[in-house]
């Protein structure tokens, strides 16, 4: 009972519930006394069992060996052969851990003697334990080889049904710092660990397996989303009885995952919580490790701000303070590993690095091997670079790399770091030669060129080594570093060589872009808006944005506009496009073919099984998501399911489906030659060589042309400020008599289209960055607005337009539609001080329903439930009222509805807050809209305004409706007068009525873009009233999505 009590106490201390050092010291004294007493009574079997526990409490290998040897000397007769073998096995394990060469030299003899005894007594797992010790403490093999050998031991333990030791072996194998070359084996090992934890029924082991799986997934871009989804529920719903050490480790892992998503403040919050939790326990190591992560998170936040800015210095200083505080605590508590780790980090960020280098060198053993010197070398090189002693820093980097290459095997990650470091030194030497000599002699020019080519070669080798690892972020950074070196190389090389270099690098860039895609797609869109927001975080990562920008710039340098346009589109709205793709329909004919193929049915059923399982609470999301990924690979490889794959992968396919687009064009009397994608590339503000905007025009056959404009983004930003920044209550600049003239200041953004397009062409505008804030459709060319010359729609990317086409009831991706006309008009203007305008709106809505028959809901009838009910059945919806655009949190933007209470009854109009309800962007994302062609007309202030995140990711009312199922949305880009909205709507619906009457094919297809073009023209020319001629009134209206509505009675 005494030994059981102390085992419980030590376990509690291990998990941070008690002081670990004090508990182990007391336990050691008690257990040692009890063991000696049993030994004196010749109860050696019991004493042997206690000794196994006792030696776990001893700090130094030498002390443990002495106690084991003393006990071994008491085991004389053959009947103690098993105890002798077990004792020798423990001695062997501690001998391997010793740094004393005399002790190490005895290990092999001990191993042979133990093995001989285990064989003699036919022990079930003794020899496996010996091999476990030998591999665990072998300092001559690489981490990768150690991992492989450990996994073989796992199989041997499984064969003898020793599951506890099997779990220990798995845990040891997975804790190796560098198993990046064996990604699949790691996944398999984690699955085994989870399976064992489930079978043993240990919640602690299950949590440990989950954290290990999340840590592994968080290194791999294609599994970032798996890690987040797996741990977030566990992190937020942790049982109260969890121990502080495990809880703190979970918070640390969560902080690392948030960091991978670029959510630095969430990562900081998790790191702070981790330290707080660790302090509630008694494990010093847990506290110190949490403090290190907290320092890292503060450093990450400082990097968000300009160098040496007040915010940068504030966060940098706070990071240094906590790291230095815990360095001294580590020293006091003899936590050498933690002290080294923090010294290295501080040394990397501080100018005075030598004291930290010296401190680390003193802490490291005198016989430190090459691999462990990596971080110190890095610090020393950085110090020499700050001193501008490039020759010494280069020599140090090269010498270390040579030492590393002499090893029989070295982890790819450490070699990649060494090559990267050497590449930087070669580049710095190149730059130093250039800066020292304004006019170079031939010998110096040759020396500089040699250094540059050496830098390129070393950087390329570094990248290839990073590709052997699963560290996605570092692969991306290494790719960008190689691209930066190339920008120097192409300046000093011939045009032919430069071209060959860039073409070769583009292959590398494409490989890395797949990683960026994998990151985003790892967030499986099973949670609607939540999944989209997580995808947006990954898209917004600065390193990912730079990859796509680099692709555009290199393509332009290679004079390949087609490739440049492809890269530009690849970097647009990918998160939103993914979310739309998740809602794509499978055509009925295809479903019928699949139903007749058993293999296809089985694959799709298996896929659905995993999708359903991912929504269940308490599952290991990572393992299930990996199984889902495996099934989807089989689906992609199975020819009868190729069409399913094509539909799903439309998010990655920038070409429009030929059948769906041809049907849509035929219904609007357009040929393929009349469709043009118009795009603009806005160089980043750091781009020195090309700050002017570049535009693209692309046809459906793939032909692409580009043109550099004279306008820069600085000019665009100045105009936006002039046009949309004005005092409260002042007149909108575009509403003044000079409004049209102000608008035309930006004409150069579109006037180039006269050379590439013809009147009547369908133009799909896909603006980038700040250009989304400009009414491009309203800019003039040929003395009239673009929207009057051409059919114009907006689409965040070609992929999104493609998905809207597939969704629309115009072709084979069409579900059967209800033959009944499903049209709904909503008029809600619950403004107690504008009763007259409210009445005008209501009469206006009634009139519209005579032009296009449909159901009418007015005022108190337009409740949230009423709106959602009609939206779930209608295919054409018109709303006239207020929209609220919230810049601080775009998810709170909304359409203003009624709460069902008539504010004009019983004197309620005295309280303007009564009678109001809101349909938020979040509500719209969760709205069920009929599949097929669905159109919304929103006559409301800023209903067309959207928040554009990095990567041109749209979020607002329009994107919410498109996500819910709409194929086209007509909205207002800025606040407009209600009277202007009424005038516009009446003219627009008159055009719709004419189109329905003129349709000869019975489908009653509506050319929305043409109706808008005609209506805007009438408004601008004063035909709807002289007071609507200024740009403020007519330029606000624009269509997002498809240019057509397929018809009210469409069936397929």
Per mean pLDDT, which of 256-270, 523-537, 857-871 is the most reliable? 857-871
How crowded is residue 328: how many other Cβ atoms within 10 Å of its Cβ? Answer: 11
Give the integer Cα–Cα distance in Å for 1024 and 981: 11
DSSP result, 45-79:
HHHHHHHHHHGGG-SSHHHHHHHHHHHHTT--SGG
CA-based end-to-end distance of the chain? 78
- Percent residues over pLDDT 70 in the chain: 78
Give the integer Cα–Cα distance in Å for 222 and 516: 8
Query: Is residue 178 pLDDT above 50, yes or no?
Result: no
Length of the chain: 1052
Q: Which of 6-10, 635-639, 875-879 has the lowest mean pLDDT?
A: 6-10
Give the integer Cα–Cα distance in Å for 268 and 605: 41
Higher per-residue confidence, 226 vs 254? 254
pLDDT of residue 880: 94
Query: Is residue 688 pLDDT above 60, yes or no?
Result: no
Q: Which helix (H) or strand (E) holds 876?
A: strand 876-880
736 CB-near residues (< 8 Å, 6+ apart): 742, 1030
pLDDT of residue 811: 39
Q: Which two tokens stand for residue 53?
A: 């526990």
Query: Is residue 531 pLDDT above 60, yes or no?
Result: yes
**b/e for 751-788, b at 16 or more Cβ within 10 A?**
bbbeebbeeebbbbbbbbbebbbbbbbbbbbeeebbbb
pLDDT band at 798 (very low <50, low <70, confident <90, very high): confident
Query: Is residue 255 pLDDT above 80, yes or no?
Result: yes
Contact in structure between 274 and 251 (CB atoms under 8 Å): yes
pLDDT of residue 753: 94
pLDDT of residue 171: 67
pLDDT band at 755 (very low <50, low <70, confident <90, very high): very high
pLDDT of residue 560: 94
pLDDT of residue 191: 57
Residue ending a domain, choose from 210, 226, 242: 226
Q: Is 237 exposed, middle or buried (0-12, 13-18, 19+ CB in 10 A)?
A: exposed
Average pLDDT over residues 1005-1031: 93
Q: For residue 344, is it within any domain?
A: no
Query: Is residue 30 pLDDT above 60, yes or no?
Result: yes
Contact in structure between 296 and 323 (CB atoms under 8 Å): no
- Percent residues over pLDDT 90 in the chain: 23
Average pLDDT over residues 331-343: 89
Q: Which helix (H) or strand (E) holds 733?
A: none
pLDDT of residue 500: 92
Q: Which of 260-274, 505-519, 550-564, 941-955 has the lowest mean pLDDT?
A: 941-955
Q: Which of 277-291, 424-438, 1010-1024 has the lowest mean pLDDT?
A: 424-438
pLDDT of residue 583: 57
Query: Is residue 55 pLDDT above 90, yes or no?
Result: no
Helix (H/G/I), strand (E/B), else coil: 785: strand
Average pLDDT over residues 1013-1042: 93
Q: For residue 319, is it within any domain?
A: no
pLDDT band at 49 (very low <50, low <70, confident <90, very high): confident
Average pLDDT over residues 282-296: 90
Query: Is residue 572 pLDDT above 60, yes or no?
Result: yes
- State phi, psi for 160 to the nearest 5 degrees: -100, 10
Average pLDDT over residues 849-856: 90
Give the integer Cα–Cα distance in Å for 1045 and 935: 7
Q: Which of 196-205, 508-517, 712-721, 932-941 has the lowest mean pLDDT?
A: 196-205
Q: For residue 663, is it within any domain?
A: no
Q: For residue 820, is it within any domain?
A: yes
Higher per-residue confidence, 842 vs 1047? 842
Number of separate domains in the chain: 2
CA neighbor of 851 nearest in space, from 968, 1009, 988, 725:
988
How crowded is residue 149: how many other Cβ atoms within 10 Å of its Cβ? Answer: 17
Q: For residue 97, is it within any domain?
A: no
For residue 907, give the CATH number of its domain.
3.40.50
Per residue in 198-242, pLDDT (tens digit) is 554 455 555 555 555 555 555 555 555 656 666 666 666 666 666
Residue ending a domain, choose from 181, 210, 226: 226
Q: Which of 225-229, 730-734, 771-775 has the lowest mean pLDDT?
A: 225-229
Q: Which of 41-50, 305-314, 920-929, 998-1007 has the lowest mean pLDDT?
A: 998-1007
Average pLDDT over residues 486-514: 90
Per mean pLDDT, which of 244-248, 579-583, 601-605 is the most reliable? 601-605
Range of the domain at 985: 812-1045
Query: Is residue 360 pLDDT above 80, yes or no?
Result: yes
Query: Is residue 675 pLDDT above 90, yes or no?
Result: yes
Per residue in 366-382, pLDDT (tens digit) is 655 677 778 788 888 88
pLDDT band at 1051 (very low <50, low <70, confident <90, very high): very low
Average pLDDT, the chain: 80
Residue ending a domain, choose from 202, 226, 250: 226
Per residue in 394-419, pLDDT (tens digit) is 888 888 888 888 877 777 888 898 99
Q: For residue 282, is it within any domain?
A: no
pLDDT of residue 240: 62
Per mean pLDDT, which of 169-183, 332-346, 565-579 is the most reliable? 332-346
Average pLDDT over residues 557-577: 87
Per mean pLDDT, which of 168-182, 226-240, 463-477, 503-517 is the most reliable? 503-517
Give the integer Cα–Cα distance in Å for 29 and 156: 36
Residue where the block lists tokens 């459906």:
700
pLDDT of residue 2: 58
pLDDT of residue 10: 57
23 CB-near residues (< 8 Å, 6+ apart): 9, 10, 12, 13
Q: Specify the pTM.
A: 0.76
Query: Is residue 542 pLDDT above 50, yes or no?
Result: yes
Q: For residue 776, is it within any domain?
A: no
Q: For residue 90, is it within any domain?
A: no
Q: Which of 454-468, 681-695, 951-965 has the lowest mean pLDDT?
A: 681-695
């Amino acid at each position: 009972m005494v030994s059981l009590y102390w085992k419980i106490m030590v376990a509690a201390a291990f998990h941070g519930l008690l002081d670990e050092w004090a508990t182990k010291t007391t336990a050691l004294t008690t257990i040692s006394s009890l063991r000696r007493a049993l030994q004196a009574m010749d109860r050696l079997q019991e004493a042997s069992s206690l000794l196994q526990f006792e030696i776990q409490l001893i700090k130094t290998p030498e002390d443990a060996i002495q106690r084991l040897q003393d006990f071994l000397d008491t085991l004389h007769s053959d009947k103690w052969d098993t105890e002798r073998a077990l004792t020798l096995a423990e001695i062997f394990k501690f001998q391997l851990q010793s740094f004393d060469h005399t002790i190490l030299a005895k290990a092999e003899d001990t191993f042979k003697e133990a093995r001989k005894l285990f064989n003699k007594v036919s022990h079930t797992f003794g020899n496996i334990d010996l091999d476990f010790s030998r591999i665990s403490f072998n300092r001559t093999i690489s981490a990768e080889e150690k991992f492989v050998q450990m996994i073989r031991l796992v199989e041997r333990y499984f064969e003898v049904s020793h599951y506890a030791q099997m779990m220990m072996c798995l845990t040891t194998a997975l804790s190796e710092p560098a198993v990046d070359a064996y990604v699949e084996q790691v996944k398999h090992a984690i699955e085994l660990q989870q399976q064992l934890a489930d079978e043993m029924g240990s919640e602690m082991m299950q949590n440990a397996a989950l954290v290990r799986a999340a840590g592994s997934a968080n290194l791999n871009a294609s599994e970032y989303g798996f890690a987040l989804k797996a741990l977030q529920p566990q992190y937020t719903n942790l049982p109260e009885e969890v121990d502080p050490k495990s809880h703190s480790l979970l918070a640390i892992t969560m902080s690392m995952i948030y960091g991978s998503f670029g959510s630095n403040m969430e990562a900081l919050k998790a790191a702070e919580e981790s330290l707080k939790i660790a302090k509630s326990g008694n494990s010093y190591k847990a506290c110190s490790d949490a403090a290190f992560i907290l320092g890292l998170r503060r450093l990450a936040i400082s990097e968000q701000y300009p160098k040496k800015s007040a915010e940068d210095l504030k966060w940098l200083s706070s990071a240094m303070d906590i790291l230095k505080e815990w360095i001294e605590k580590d020293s006091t508590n003899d936590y050498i590993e933690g002290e080294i780790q923090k010294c290295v980090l501080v040394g990397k960020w501080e100018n005075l690095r030598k004291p930290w280098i010296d401190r680390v060198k003193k802490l490291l053993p005198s016989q430190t091997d090459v691999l462990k010197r990596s971080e110190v070398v890095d610090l020393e090189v950085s110090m020499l670079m700050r001193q501008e002693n490039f020759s010494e820093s280069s020599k140090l980097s090269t010498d270390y790399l040579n030492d590393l290459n002499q090893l029989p095997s070295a982890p790819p990650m450490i070699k990649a770091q060494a090559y990267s470091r050497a590449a930087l030194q070669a580049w710095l030497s190149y730059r130093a030669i250039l800066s020292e000599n304004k006019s170079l002699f031939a010998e110096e020019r040759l020396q500089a060129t040699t250094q540059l080519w050496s830098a390129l070669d070393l950087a390329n080798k570094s990248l290839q080594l990073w590709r052997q690892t699963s560290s996605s972020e570092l692969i991306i950074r290494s790719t960008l570093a190689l691209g930066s070196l190339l920008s120097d190389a192409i300046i000093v090389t011939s045009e032919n060589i430069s071209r060959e270099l860039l073409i070769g690098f583009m292959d590398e860039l494409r490989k890395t872009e797949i990683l960026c895609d994998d990151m985003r797609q790892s967030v499986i869109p099973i949670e609607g808006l939540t999944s989209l927001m997580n995808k947006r975080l990954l898209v917004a990562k600065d390193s990912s944005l730079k990859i796509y920008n680099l692709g555009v710039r290199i393509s332009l340098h290679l004079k390949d506009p087609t490739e440049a346009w492809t890269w530009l589109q690849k970097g647009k709205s990918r998160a939103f496009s993914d979310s739309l793709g998740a809602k794509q329909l499978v055509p009925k004919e295809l479903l019928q073919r699949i139903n007749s193929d058993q293999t296809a049915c089985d694959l799709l059923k298996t896929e659905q099984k995993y999708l359903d399982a991912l929504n269940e609470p308490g599952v290991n999301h990572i393992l299930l998501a990996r199984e889902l990924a495996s099934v989807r690979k089989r689906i992609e490889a199975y020819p009868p399911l190729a069409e399913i794959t094509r539909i799903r992968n439309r998010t990655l396919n920038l070409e429009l489906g030929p059948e769906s687009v041809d049907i849509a064009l035929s219904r609007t009397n357009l040929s393929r030659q009349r469709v043009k994608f118009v795009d603009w590339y806005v160089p980043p503000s750091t781009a020195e060589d090309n700050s002017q905007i570049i535009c693209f025009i692309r046809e459906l056959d793939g032909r692409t042309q580009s043109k550099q404009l004279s306008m820069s983004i600085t000019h665009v930003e100045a105009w936006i400020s002039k046009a949309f920044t004005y005092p409260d209550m002042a007149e909108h600049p575009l509403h003044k008599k000079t409004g049209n003239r102000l608008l035309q200041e930006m004409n150069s953004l579109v006037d180039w289209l006269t050379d590439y397009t013809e009147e009547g062409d369908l133009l799909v505008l896909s603006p980038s960055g700040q250009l989304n804030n400009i009414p491009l459709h309203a800019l003039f060319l040929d003395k009239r607005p673009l929207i009057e010359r051409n059919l114009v729609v907006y689409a965040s990317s070609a992929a999104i337009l493609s998905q809207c086409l597939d969704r629309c009831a115009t072709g084979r991706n069409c579900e059967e539609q209800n033959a009944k006309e499903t049209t709904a008009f909503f008029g809600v203007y619950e403004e107690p001080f504008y009763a007259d305008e409210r009445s005008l709106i209501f009469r206006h809505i009634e009139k519209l329903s005579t032009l296009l028959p449909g159901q009418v809901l007015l005022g108190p009838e337009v409740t949230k439930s009423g709106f959602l009910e009609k939206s779930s059945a209608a295919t054409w919806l018109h709303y006239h009222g207020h929209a609220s655009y919230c810049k601080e949190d775009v998810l709170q933007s909304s359409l203003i509805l009624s709460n069902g209470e008539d504010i004009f009854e019983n004197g309620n109009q005295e309280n303007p807050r009564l009678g109001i309800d809101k349909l938020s962007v979040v509500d719209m994302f969760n709205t069920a809209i009929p599949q097929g062609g669905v159109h919304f007309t929103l006559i409301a202030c800023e209903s067309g305004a959207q928040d554009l995140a990095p990567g041109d990711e749209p979020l607002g009312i329009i994107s919410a409706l498109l996500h819910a199922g709409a194929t086209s949305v007509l909205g207002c880009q800025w606040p407009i007068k209600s009277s202007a909205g009424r005038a516009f709507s009446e003219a627009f619906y008159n055009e719709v009525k004419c189109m329905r009457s003129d349709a000869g094919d019975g489908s009653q297809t509506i050319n929305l873009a043409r109706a808008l073009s005609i209506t805007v023209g009438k408004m601008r020319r004063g035909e709807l009233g002289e007071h609507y001629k200024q740009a403020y009134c007519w330029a606000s209206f624009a269509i997002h999505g498809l240019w057509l509505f397929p018809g009210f009675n469409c069936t397929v």
